[in-house]
Amino acid sequence: MAKKRLLIVESPAKAGTIKKYLGKDYSVVASMGHIIDLPKSSLGVDVDNDYEPKYITIRGKGDLLNSLKKEAKKADEVYLATDPDREGEAISWHLANALKIDPKSNCRVTFNEVTKNAVKAAMKSPRSIDMDLVDAQQARRVLDRIVGYKISPILWEKVKRGLSAGRVQSVATRIICDREDEIENFTPEEYWTIEANLSDTNKKSFSVKYYGEKGRETKLKDREAANKVTDDIKNARFIVSRVKRSEQKQNPKAPFTTSTMQQEASKKFNFQAIKTMQIAQGLYEGISLGGKLGTVGLITYMRTDSLRISAEAQKEAVEFLRAEYGSEYVSPRQFNTGKNAQDAHEAIRPTSINIKPADIKDKLTNDQYKLYKLIWERFAASQMASAVYDTVSVSVDANSHTFRAAGSSVKFKGYMKVYVEAGASLDKESAKMLPELKTGDNLELKDCSSKQHFTQPPARYSDATLIEELEQRGIGRPSTYAPTIATIVSRGYISRSKRQLVPTELGKVTTEIMKNNFRDIVDVDFTAGMEEELDEVEEGKLKWKKVIGDFYPKFDAELKEAQNNISKIKIKDEESDVVCDQCGRKMVYKLSKFGKFLACPGFPECKNTMTIRNSTGVICPKCGKGEILLKRSRRGKVYYGCENIPGCDFMIWYEPLKEKCPQCGGLLMKRGGKKGSVVCYNEDCKYERKG
């Protein structure tokens, strides 16, 4: 009689995908993430007894755990296939203990991609639970719990109820606040540029920019300096003094890591990091493609900082690219992973390059298609030949002054046939090519203009640039970037202004308190050093309780000092233009876990609150009375609905426009962002135009 086997994964979606790969002897169930954790109602760490954590069953998950226990009793063999990272290893360890499975037995199964071959191969080689990985997770969890649980009550008492502190989130907030200080304290400096429009003997025009005097680069700091140059060259002879032609190669970028994927999705699609990870999770866990393919995990594990790709994936890519584009476009390569990266996983890539984005577009949502296409193209390009440019640089002398120009044109597209990075453009490059020039050529000055400029302050961080900064400074790990940004925004420390992350008054005040009283917690180098120690725990070089033991005594002393040193701070709520309809005061903005709302400042005498009205100025086409308002779902997704709830249930996902459809007079909607299309809401009307 065949053995009954139970496989426990984290999510129902992944369970459904894997169930189709394994035979009838397997049951596949989901733990729904963590089942065991530190309690919410107390510290849960015995700081007087070697920092022993006190784990409990998460409230609301008792029935699920009992269900898993019943399933485990029915099975002859139980395998734990939670995600292949520290967090997943810890979940498996907790499950093993709860289900009375020996963690040293071969009960742990991991796979980097949810495909039939990968899952079946993993089932053939189970291993014991990696306690070094578990301990690294325990160290992070306990550190974060101690910091959050001990500092947050002080912030509640001294600043505002509901505040919280966090090891990584506090540093991220500080980085954004420090950048804002740089911007506010920035002093612009004046400078001038000069551009001359020249023509060659064939009357072909081109522009050159001022470089300097007597062969040295010269900065023009004011109008007087710029005027002196323009006066000097008015009647001067312009002679080509140097022409340099060369061939330049541009290599493709490596396949995505978590960080680079989030950055590129932010730049190209304006996806917030948390959204990118949610979409990637779905692509990883499995999409039903129908036919022979069935349900397939389309990408490899999406929490990784490794650039490695497997030999099998590389071989498949080379064969595909050679057949699709020709041998001259193929150049297999591996990329060096950084010294702090965890190389257990591969880079993010399609599970099979043969599953082309265009072929499965109808099986994916618009956002899934965008992200899958991005990952597919980046991976394909990484195994392709370099792009080649013909470049030319020219120096032109005029009365001891030097002007310069450079141009380039694409000689061979190489990897750019498949993928062009955000901000790059083949067309832009080809437009810069200069006319044929040689040393000694005489040129004619057609006109010359000078322009005043001022140096600009550094830009505020966006999701993309903050993630890049956190990664470069060694703060956090792939799994922490998206939730860190989401947390500091939801807690009201940071607000979003278009793509920019802007510190609020609350964020500035809290950061100042942290800098003055908990210097290590918001110190970038200290936090990066702590990440290195966690890596050493994972590598088995350091005991996790030593990490906590080295940290806690100094931190505990700071806590006692802070309690006495921090004065109570009153943060004034931002006033709105909305008048309270009960007492006449101007209402103020407040923040809850569901987002901003309006409240009367007369609390507790007046307890009036209102939701924030985000008007569109468009009348609902269904009831013809109410206005369509911008709203957010519980998960934060933007949608548009009629204000007459519950009387009218009109709802759309796309932005309504004030203009009427030119064909039927109905409601027009803008679909797909800035470069999307405008379509009619009326399904019988096929009107559509570019956005």
Catalytic positions are: 301
Quick check: helix, strand or coil at residue 84? coil
Angle formed at CA 274 by CA 269 and CA 277, multiple of 5 degrees: 80
Q: How far apart are CA 552 and CA 351, in angstroms?
A: 44
Per-residue three-class SS string for 635-672: CCCEEEEECCCCCCCCEECCEEEEEECCCCCCEEEEEC
Residue 412, class by beta-carbon neighbours within 10 Å (0-12 exposed, 13-18 middle, 19+ buried)? middle
Whose CA is closest to 376, among 361, 356, 358, 346? 356
SS3 string, 7-55, reads EEECCHHHHHHHHCCCCCCEEEEECCCCCEECCCCCCCEECCCCCEECC
250 C-beta neighbours (distance < 10 Å), count: 15
Q: 347 and 305 in contact (C-beta within 8 Å)?
A: no
Give the C-alpha separation, 422 to 261, whole Å.
12
Q: Which residues of 533-623 form beta strands (DSSP E)?
A: 575-579, 586-592, 595-599, 609-610, 615-619
3-state secondary structure string across 272-297: CHHHHHHHHHHHHHCEECCCCCCEEC
Round to whole Å and give the CA distance between 434 and 108: 62
Nearest by Cα to 206 from 450, 389, 446, 426: 446
Four-point Cα dihedral 264, 268, 272, 278, nearest 10: -70
d(CA 632, CA 628): 13
Element of type H or E holding 142: helix 131-158
Q: Are 654 and 638 in contact (CB under 8 A)?
A: no
Contact 87, 15 (CB under 8 A): no
In this structure, what DSSP letter does residue 415 have? G
Within 159-272, where are the H helices? 167-184, 223-233, 258-269
Residue 244: phi and psi, rounded to 5, are -125, 120
- Cα 391 versus chain centre, distance: 34
Q: 362: which DSSP letter?
A: G
